[in-house]
Structure 1
Amino acid sequence: MLHPIDLLIFDGRNHHDKFLSQAKVSKNLKEAVIEYRHRYKQYPPPGFDRWYHYATSRSSVVIEDFDQIHHDLLPFRAYSPQRLRELTHQVATNPFNDVGAVIIRNGTPRVQEGVKPTHAWMVEGAAKMIEPFSEYLPDMDLVFNLNDEPRIAVPYDRITKMRAAGESIEAPPQDQVLNGWSIDRGDGWTPVEPADQTQETPFVDRSWSDDVFDDPISLVCPSSSKARRDRVWDRRNICLSCIRPHSLGQFVSDWDRAADICHQPDLAHLHGFFLSAASLKVSQELLPVFSQSSVRGFNDILFPSPWNYVDKVKYQPSEEHPDVPYLDKENTLFWIGATSEGVGLSGRWQGMARQRFTHLINNNTLNKVSVMLPAAKQGSYNYKILDGRAPQEKLGLNASVHIAERIVRCGDCDTQAEEFHTVGKVDFQDHWRYRFLFDLDGAAFSGRFLPFLQSNSLPFKTALFRQWFDSRISAWRHFVPQDLRLHDVWSTLAYFAGVRNGEEVIMPPHDREALWITEEGRKWAAQAIRKEDMEIYFFRLLLEWGRLTDDRRDELGFKL
């Protein structure tokens, strides 16, 4: 009998093969234009030929599949170009809004003066990413979110109508297509400097609040969804109806649906973003804000993170910190990090994923755990209910999970310090000692995931937030997905690490499968999530945004 993970790895292989079959179909510019028209029912934007040459000359393995960009920008078609420019100015010129702007004129990007100094690197990193292709961009201003958390949560009914309005716009007849930007575009943008010229704001500050899931967050879901109708009060037990749509038993079977909050009302108590976000200035009006990550249902425009582009955290093994082959590493699951997911007030930290994970591994003395193990009948498996300490003490599973240095973002800091017993900080490059690296959200996306993917270690990942590249990676082929509830951690580790009771081997490690996923993730990161791929994605995004903000946008398009 196959283990469920065997089936999921098979599905992961097929999922990625399906993606590859449509990600790059065209063999030349003409075919790329045809594929674009077929896929998006429009002509490509002006400058598409420049983008195509840029992408192909850098060996991009993705030419056709930019559905994330289409999804993010579609509702903005409900606004006129002038309205988009007005909103850009309004958002960019009030310091309360926690944004920074990049101004592009005559093919040169420049960072807005007066950006918050502690966060200026984000906007400077975005401008640096734009520079290699900026000469091909029209004049425009761009607004970047300086906070980790996403910002735009338009209620479901309203955004659905805006999307429908965007879909209804037809491509112009071929003889009326204008292959070029409007003249004097720069004059249409009201200057965003000084940065403090606007007093009104569309954002409401809900930072540190514990009641944001009902309003505004769940309002991004249909009124018929569980997130709008149901509340899960039993926090001791898993909400089985919440996990069923994206799970095969304990295990995540649909990584995309696992991020959909609309069938998971229990997440209101299981993530720092919902429990008490450190920075949540949110708008229920659609605004042109570019963010590094977002939550399903939010309407921020995703762009590649400067964090990864400027190497804030980098995969950089050395003689002192070598990345040895997978089988030569310690057979241990490793995570160390800060309590940065949300603000720990009045016991809310007990629901946050980082604290729950640390408790599960180190302090779970009261709650039972369920672990899938071989059954008495040879070749079959079943779930066994064990004491919380049994995975390490009786099954020989090794995990090193710790909060580093000191408790941060807290009101009841002493209580957490007593619970977690923090340890000293470690060099990031020390991660490569371990076979299994666990990745968790912080206040938003985790900047560690790409280095983990590039390494010889096997990444385990749980996440609420999604980034620009999530549509091009496949769970169970490039990484091992984990549910936000963390009920699958021990069973997954048992599968890959193997289970022993003293000298007795209860389940051998699935080294072949682990090596395959590790190598597939490494290869794919080197092919499809390079810095060049960040530039290619951003270039295409800004050509599309340039068309949206052009007064003649309904006539603009690239044609041979």
Structure 2
Amino acid sequence: MTTAKLTGKSAGFGRPRLSTKSTLKYLILGTFLACTAVYFVYVNDALAGKVDQIRSFHTASISHNLEKPIEKLIVHAQAEQTRLLSRQSHNLSTAAERYRERRGRHPPPNFNAWYDYAQKYDAILVEDFFDRIYDDLNPFWTLEPREVRRLSAPWAHEHVISVRNHKAILKTTSRDPMRRMPQWHRLIEELAQWLPDVDLPMNVMDESRLLVPWEEINRMVQEETAGRLVAPPSEVRTQYTGLPVIDSEPQDEPLETCPPDSPSRNTPPVDIYHDSVKMPTVYPVHSFEGYVQNWTLSKDSCQHPHLRSLHGAFIEPVSISTTQSLIPLFGGYKLSQNNDILIPPAMYLTTDELYAGRGDGGPEWTQKRGDVVWRGVASGGRNKAETWTHFHRHRFVQMLNGTAVHDFETASLAAEGTTFKLPSQDHYSLMSLRNGSLGGWLSTVTDVAFTNLECFPLPPMPADQHLCGYTNPYFAVRTQIPMHAQYHSKYLPDVDGNSYSGRFRAFLRDSGSVVLKATLYNEWHDSRLMPWLHFVPVDNTFIDIFGVLDFFLGAEGNGVHDKLAERIAREGRVWAGKVLRREDMALYTWRLVLEFARLCDDRRDVLGWVNDLNNE
């Protein structure tokens, strides 16, 4: 979600124009008080009980000092959430009106049934929550309906879910090692009674697959925008035509992806076998005084050329099969440059305890340990002896390992085993550094380790396959910690693996802990989660992680900052229970399928729902 800019001293921001420091403090405090008052009234009146558990931050908690960037970001997030919720739809006619206002078309047929389902399950409806659907589908409006149907037909793909006569049909002709297709099929099956005939090709790989050149996508988006039509109600058709008989007619299936003005556009490739780690030590671009401000831009590798040397997705993915053609392909996650169509990930639909936990929450905040815990495998791609220092999970584990950081501080960490650099003290003024060793302090607050080093190639002996000769000197393998046991810690990092992390939803919904989230991947829920209100965003270099931990767990962490953390944990858990339920994923998927089916219809320009207009 793109958020409005703050003002500050970091790169890209102008200096405050107020005459004195105290004036600035009182102005910010006054703005916060006003936002808090509006939000409190809104929660109690406008939401009428729907989000009555979403509590405003209490002014006294942070009014003592609003000079710290993290405090400013938290206040700003609260105001943004208030603005977003002010656009909630409470009846069908308002939902349809806001749809037309934001999309430039009539809602799709059966929009009323979709709205009734939302009402039945007490869903919070904000049209902005569905922006991702239109970002993904709008380029397809430049293709003829027949072409969209042909490109999504079952004979053209290995994994497809088809709806015919309100029945969901699963087709899988190759391996699906993570069992994603049954999860998606079950969700579509639940909705099939309301869905038109449609074919949904699915991507079961860890990596996203469509990489259409930026110029082509940009042309398509402009063409789609210019061609939007809100047809007169008398001309609108309210029934899908249905798919032509194409199931028995097989046919042959018929790169620069960054914008021209982006920093990564013409940057020469990194020699990952010989170049050292290109990790910045100063404030990341687009940050607010060193901390993530714009969640969308922070995940866009076109804006951060150095990430090509710091993330496994750009080093050597485990599996990859891409095309530069725009074809319909649905998947659970993608990089900003990819053109896959997002659907809720299969791992968010499973009941597997590895991803969903046990469904029970952690202890109360005051009963949790004031530390950071993480366990995972050394995934992120196929790491090798020559490339592992460029992998994001290896860097993450080293940066949160007190011994590794101490060795770096004392220059005893061997150069070939270095995955990171310490931030400049001129940029991140850390209390823990001023009081002694950063590594020594980290050793008291972090418990971060790999459970398997994912060596390539694997050692020949099964007993050694969790180890790895080239990384054994730097990493100690630890036993796994079940998710419900991790909930006893106040801070739960969540970082990318081979793609997105399947634990994020469960962490937010169940743990009652603060989720520290770093990712390059876009997902279906991005427009409905607010960084710094529901979770703490972390830059993908992890350059800001020490500052984040210093703020919450350092010298001041046991006081007011601990209270801020408690409220972020609570807000995240309450909000996830309102907008990340299975019913919310069903609503998103239902809307997505209705829109995609309209794209495939020869009458799509006049296909829609206009009952609210006909009844005026």
The two structures have a TM-score, normalised by structure 2, of 0.78
2:445 counterpart (398, 411, 423): 398
Change (3 A) 1:117 1:289: closer
Instruction: Specify the alignment match of 2:368 in structure 1.
Output: 329
Find out whether 1:16 has 2:81 as its counterpart.
yes
Letter of the 1:67 counterpart? D
Three-state SS of the structure 2 residue aligned to 1:82 is: helix
Letter of the 2:243 counterpart? G
On the 8 A contact 2:281/2:543 being kept in 1, the answer is: no
More displaced 10-residue stretch of structure 1: 283-292 or 133-142: 133-142
Change (3 A) 1:394 1:47: closer
Letter of the 2:445 counterpart? N
| In 2, Cα distance between equivalents of 1:395 and 1:156 | 43
Deviation at 1:83, TM superposition (A): 0.3
2:151 counterpart (84, 87, 91): 87
Instruction: Specify the alignment match of 2:137 in structure 1.
Output: 73
Change (3 A) 1:191 1:171: farther
More displaced 10-residue stretch of structure 1: 231-240 or 396-405: 231-240
Find out whether 1:357 has 2:396 as its counterpart.
yes
On the 8 A contact 1:8/1:476 being kept in 2, the answer is: yes
Deviation at 1:511, TM superposition (A): 1.2
Instruction: Specify the alignment match of 1:316 in structure 2.
Output: 358
Unpaired segments of 5 or more residues in structure 2? 1-64, 410-420, 460-467, 612-616
| In 1, Cα distance between equivalents of 2:492 and 2:376 | 12
Instruction: Specify the alignment match of 1:423 in structure 2.
Output: 478
Instruction: Specify the alignment match of 1:224 in structure 2.
Output: 261
Instruction: Specify the alignment match of 2:581 in structure 1.
Output: 530
Deviation at 1:231, TM superposition (A): 4.9
Three-state SS of the structure 1 residue aligned to 2:471 is: helix
- Post-superposition CA distance 1:62-99 (Å, at most 9, x none): 2422111111100000111110111113xx546xx7x5
2:338 counterpart (298, 301, 305): 298
On the 8 A contact 2:281/2:424 being kept in 1, the answer is: no
Find out whether 1:244 has 2:285 as its counterpart.
yes
Instruction: Specify the alignment match of 1:480 in structure 2.
Output: 536
On the 8 A contact 2:114/2:591 being kept in 1, the answer is: yes
Three-state SS of the structure 2 residue aligned to 1:111 is: strand
On the 8 A contact 1:371/1:491 being kept in 2, the answer is: no
Letter of the 2:247 counterpart? T
More displaced 10-residue stretch of structure 1: 62-71 or 390-399: 390-399
Instruction: Specify the alignment match of 1:274 in structure 2.
Output: 314
| In 1, Cα distance between equivalents of 2:315 and 2:435 | 25
1:258 counterpart (298, 301, 311): 298
Three-state SS of the structure 1 residue aligned to 2:284 is: helix
Deviation at 1:487, TM superposition (A): 1.1
Deviation at 1:426, TM superposition (A): 2.6
| In 1, Cα distance between equivalents of 2:278 and 2:309 | 12
On the 8 A contact 1:397/1:497 being kept in 2, the answer is: no
| In 1, Cα distance between equivalents of 2:363 and 2:263 | 46
Three-state SS of the structure 2 residue aligned to 1:460 is: strand
Instruction: Specify the alignment match of 2:222 in structure 1.
Output: 164
On the 8 A contact 2:132/2:527 being kept in 1, the answer is: yes
Three-state SS of the structure 1 residue aligned to 2:202 is: strand
Deviation at 1:349, TM superposition (A): 1.7
Change (3 A) 1:508 1:238: farther
| In 2, Cα distance between equivalents of 1:6 and 1:430 | 30
On the 8 A contact 2:168/2:189 being kept in 1, the answer is: yes
Deviation at 1:472, TM superposition (A): 0.7
Find out whether 1:109 has 2:168 as its counterpart.
yes
On the 8 A contact 2:377/2:454 being kept in 1, the answer is: yes
Find out whether 1:48 has 2:111 as its counterpart.
yes
Letter of the 2:552 counterpart? F
Instruction: Specify the alignment match of 1:446 in structure 2.
Output: 501
On the 8 A contact 1:324/1:432 being kept in 2, the answer is: yes
1:342 counterpart (378, 381, 386): 381
| In 1, Cα distance between equivalents of 2:386 and 2:585 | 39
On the 8 A contact 1:150/1:300 being kept in 2, the answer is: yes
| In 1, Cα distance between equivalents of 2:292 and 2:516 | 12
On the 8 A contact 2:142/2:220 being kept in 1, the answer is: yes
Change (3 A) 1:488 1:432: same
Change (3 A) 1:354 1:167: same
Deviation at 1:408, TM superposition (A): 4.3
Change (3 A) 1:372 1:359: same
Instruction: Specify the alignment match of 2:61 in structure 1.
Output: none
Letter of the 1:190 counterpart? D
On the 8 A contact 2:281/2:423 being kept in 1, the answer is: no
| In 2, Cα distance between equivalents of 1:494 and 1:465 | 26
Letter of the 1:547 counterpart? R
> Which is strand-richer, 1 or 2?
1
Unpaired segments of 5 or more residues in structure 1? 203-215, 376-380, 500-504
Instruction: Specify the alignment match of 1:148 in structure 2.
Output: 206
| In 1, Cα distance between equivalents of 2:328 and 2:213 | 16
On the 8 A contact 2:552/2:561 being kept in 1, the answer is: yes
Deviation at 1:388, TM superposition (A): 13
Deviation at 1:275, TM superposition (A): 0.9
Change (3 A) 1:506 1:461: closer
Deviation at 1:241, TM superposition (A): 8.6
Q: How many residues align?
A: 515
On the 8 A contact 1:242/1:263 being kept in 2, the answer is: no
